[in-house]
Amino acid sequence: MMECLKEMGSYQQIAALQQELSDILALKASVRWQVSGETSVKYLRNLYRQRTVEQHTNTLRPNESSDPVKGIEQLLPIAQQFYQTLYTADPVDDHQVDLYLDSIRDAPHLNDDHTDLLWNRSLLKKLSKEQHE
């Protein structure tokens, strides 16, 4: 019985020491937060560097079979060609467009009441999203 009481006493001592250590660490963290602020300058600087590296293009490959190129003088023409191709309109076959329009001419249409109902619902959703932002 005596050993049981001694063991309980030692468990209580361990629990008390753990609580005291926890309190000390909480105080240290509080002091560190008050001194450094919400976020440290070192953290923000590293975050800025990481994002800069992620957003900076170092190399580009003109096509799949060529090697990557470096240097702004070589990168600019490749980027220009890419975006020029990207934003160039694709040729449209007018005959195919006419066939498509003819095929959907007899498709069901919304009447004015249903159109108004859909418009009002989408407007309400948009307004509620804007209100929550």
Shared domain for 49 and 63, answered yes or no, is: no
Q: How many folded domains does the chain comprise?
A: 2
Instruction: Report, in angstroms and rounded to the nearest whole number, the Rg of the chain calculated over CA atoms.
Output: 34
> Which of 59 and 101 is assigned the larger pLDDT?
101
Question: Is residue 63 included in any domain, yes or no?
Answer: yes
10 and 47 part of one domain: yes
The distance in angstroms from the start CA to the end CA of the chain is 65
Residue 8 in this model has a pLDDT that exceeds 60: no
Averaged pLDDT of the chain: 80
Query: Structural domain of residue 62, as residue ranges?
Result: 58-88
pLDDT in tens, 45-85: 888 888 888 777 788 888 888 888 888 888 888 889 888 99
Assess if residue 119 is contained within a domain: no
> Is 47 found in the same domain as 9?
yes
The verdict on residue 9 lying in a domain is yes
Shared-domain flag, residues 41 and 52: yes
Q: Mark whether 6 and 47 lie in a shared domain.
A: yes
Same domain, 5 and 40: yes
Across 30-39, 58-67, 101-110, the highest mean pLDDT is recorded for: 101-110
**50 and 8 housed in the same domain:** yes
Of the listed ranges 5-9, 98-102, 126-130, the least confidently predicted one is 5-9
Decide: 75 and 57 in contact? Cβ < 8 Å: yes
Cβ neighbours for 81, distance < 8 A, ≥ 6 positions apart: 62
Residues 37 and 71 in one domain: no
Q: Which helix (H) or strand (E) holds 27?
A: helix 2-36
